[in-house]
Amino acid sequence: MKFNFKEKTDLSTVVLLFEDEKTNSSIQKLIDKGTFKASKGKVISDSFAEKPTIYVGLGKKEKLDFEALRLAGFTAAKEANRLQLKELYVDIPVFENLCYAKSVSAFLEGFLQSEAVTDRYKSEKDKRSLEELYIKLNKDSEEVQRAVKEMEFVMQGVASARTLVNERSNTMTPSVLADYAKKLLEPLGVELEVFDLAKLKEIKAYAFLEVARGSDEEPRGIIMRWKGNKNSSDLTGLVGKGLTYDSGGYCIKTPGGMSTMHTDMAGAASVIATMEAIARNKLKINVTALVFACENLISGKAYKTGDIINSMKGTTIWVGNTDAEGRLTLADAVYYMASVEKPNRILEVATLTGAVIGALGYITTGVVTNDEHLANDFVAIGKESGEAFHILPLNDEYREMIKHDEADLANSLRDVGAGSITAGAFVEHFVENIPWVHLDIAGTADGKARGYLPSGAHGTPVKTFYYYLKSLSK
Ligand code: BES
Ligand code: ZN
Ligand code: ZN
């Protein structure tokens, strides 16, 4: 969709309405009669008119936030497509107590959210008519346009994450993922290095290679470097879980549980997409991202329950469950990041546990951290960007729960509970005391359509990653 910052009043128009504020437009009659209520996400249009007006509700005035504006933009775009409009005009008012540039960006983000591809595998493609939106700004035009351009680049990243996650495991293998990252990121100035099996053996990625063993597809390590500030030694490390398929291995999943496991690389997709967003926006920061990608399958070579395996760090691990494979791949990835790249902080993201869905459902990403201050900063930025996070507790009692009597650690133990916390505690063992935030996106990476999010992959948490990393450049 093209955004055109020009007044063009001879088009169909979007009018934004508060639930608790009278307007002098003709819609007020319907509101007075109770036919229409301008609550969040509600829309009505005079569709018989030659140039219909689209009225979108924002909810209560004092409760207005960026999230309501995103939903309003999304709702307006959906209605415009239903009316088969090609062009649309909107005059975006200045809202009290909200930064104008951020308000406009949020509202326009909603329009871009409406463009998410959900017909990838359908013979009949979605028909969307809306091509161009004319916008009247009422303040700081240049600054606002800059923020909108930035948001458009971030949304390109979000779209890439969604594309990667929605692709199925028969086409999205570890080597395809590596090639995709290379083709996407190198032209944007991101340096990329791909580790093949021989190199992964050389760096002693033992735990990761145990998981990868059961598959005929070769694993890959993908390391991506954005050096946006050569005058600074500050470095952030991003690590994403990259299981292009998780069958559970010998602890095989149910057919229902397994059918969505092409999404088990959503963490990897989100860090690749974040690199895209920061490179497109040329952020003045240094970021290194790492993905260890493989498949968790069953074969004569696959690892088994009861095995005791090694890791890059040298920590031995008793395999209590071959379906708790994510933490094994992350153990080596995070250890490599911590010990070789030595960043100032590590943000690690994974579709790690079903337990996080039990705790937080499909709405909120579970957070485990060794640095509350870092995690609080991150969560606060999530609030602005419209992604929900909740910090789970981590202390020595949980850390004790992952110990084993015959090996140093266990990847899974029966009847201890707190599945998302103990999974986090396991990964923590390998971060070498570097400030670290773990994001469990098992519930939030994909799912049904919700609010302005499409069905399938959601692109979580690319927006928050981006705006958090941007906050480091100030
Ligand atoms: N990839 C799954 C977690 C998952 C579950 C992601 C549902 C998305 C939706 C992970 O590898 C897994 O299977 N975890 C196990 C761990 C358990 C065996 C300790 C789980 O959560 O059941
Ligand atoms: Zn698993
Ligand atoms: Zn998994």
**pLDDT attached to residue 27:** 94
The finding on whether 446 has its CB within 6 A of some atom of ligand 1 is no
Rounded mean pLDDT of 106-120? 97
What are the residues whose beta carbons fall under 8 Å from the beta carbon of 330, sequence distance 6 or more?
239, 241, 292, 348, 350, 352, 427, 430
Q: Residue 461 phi/psi, 5° resolution? A: -110, 50
**pLDDT attached to residue 26:** 87
Rounded mean pLDDT of 286-308? 98
Ligand nearest the Cα atom of residue 446: 1
**pLDDT attached to residue 92:** 98
Query: Do 27 and 56 meet the contact criterion of CB atoms below 8 Å apart?
Result: no
- Report residue 142 CA to chain centroid gap: 29
Q: Say which of 327, 345, 463, 470 is annotated catalytic.
A: 327
Query: Do 118 and 454 meet the contact criterion of CB atoms below 8 Å apart?
Result: yes
Query: Do 178 and 194 meet the contact criterion of CB atoms below 8 Å apart?
Result: yes
**pLDDT attached to residue 414:** 87
**pLDDT attached to residue 24:** 86
Where helices occur in 23-93 by DSSP H, the ranges are 28-33, 66-82
Residue 64 Cα distances to 31, 43, 99, angstroms = 19, 16, 12
Residue nearest to atom 7 of ligand 1 (CA): 354
**pLDDT attached to residue 372:** 98
The finding on whether 315 has its CB within 6 A of some atom of ligand 1 is no
d(CA 319, CA 299): 17
Q: Say which of 60, 128, 149, 253 is annotated catalytic.
A: 253
**pLDDT attached to residue 78:** 98
| 268-287 residue pLDDT tens | 999 999 999 999 999 999 99
| 396-426 residue pLDDT tens | 999 999 999 999 999 999 888 999 999 999 9
Rounded mean pLDDT of 363-379? 98
Query: Do 43 and 75 meet the contact criterion of CB atoms below 8 Å apart?
Result: yes
Residue 447 Cα distances to 46, 349, 393, 457, angstroms = 33, 17, 26, 7
| 24-53 residue pLDDT tens | 888 999 999 999 999 999 999 999 999 999
Pocket test for ligand 1, best of 262, 303, 353, 362 (most atoms within 8 A of CB): 353
**pLDDT attached to residue 51:** 97
How far does residue 324's CA lie from ligand 3's centre (Å)? 7
The finding on whether 323 has its CB within 6 A of some atom of ligand 1 is yes
In the structure, what pLDDT confidence band is assigned to residue 175 with cuts at 50, 70 and 90? very high
Average pLDDT score over the chain: 98
Rounded mean pLDDT of 431-445? 99
Rounded mean pLDDT of 282-298? 99
Position of tokens 């002693």? 204
Query: Do 211 and 325 meet the contact criterion of CB atoms below 8 Å apart?
Result: yes
Pocket test for ligand 1, best of 352, 360, 412, 414 (most atoms within 8 A of CB): 352
The finding on whether 325 has its CB within 6 A of some atom of ligand 1 is yes
The finding on whether 321 has its CB within 6 A of some atom of ligand 1 is yes
How far does residue 444's CA lie from ligand 2's centre (Å)? 16
Is residue 327 flagged as an active site residue?
yes
Residue 188 token pair: 């944007």
Planar angle of CA 413, 415, 421, nearest 5 degrees: 70
Cβ neighbours of 472 (radius 10 Å): 18
| 217-261 residue pLDDT tens | 999 999 999 999 999 999 999 999 999 999 999 999 999 999 999
Is residue 225 flagged as an active site residue?
no
Cβ neighbours of 313 (radius 10 Å): 20
Res 179 pLDDT > 90: yes
Instruction: Give percent of the chain with pLDDT exceeding 70.
Output: 100
Q: Given the CA of residue 353, which atom of ligand 1 is nearest to it?
A: 21
The finding on whether 305 has its CB within 6 A of some atom of ligand 1 is no
| Least trusted range by pLDDT, from 21-25, 286-290, 460-464 | 21-25
Instruction: Give percent of the chain with pLDDT exceeding 90.
Output: 99
How far does residue 258's CA lie from ligand 1's centre (Å)? 10
**pLDDT attached to residue 44:** 97
Query: Do 63 and 45 meet the contact criterion of CB atoms below 8 Å apart?
Result: no
pTM > 0.95: yes
d(CA 426, CA 421): 9
**pLDDT attached to residue 102:** 98
Q: Given the CA of residue 419, which atom of ligand 1 is nearest to it?
A: 19
The finding on whether 175 has its CB within 6 A of some atom of ligand 1 is no
**pLDDT attached to residue 25:** 87
Residue nearest to atom 17 of ligand 1 (CA): 324
Rounded mean pLDDT of 2-6? 98
| 118-136 residue pLDDT tens | 999 999 999 999 999 999 9
d(CA 197, CA 174): 11
The finding on whether 150 has its CB within 6 A of some atom of ligand 1 is no
User: ω into residue 461 within 30 of 0, thus cis?
Assistant: yes
**pLDDT attached to residue 285:** 98
**pLDDT attached to residue 368:** 99
Rounded mean pLDDT of 204-222? 99
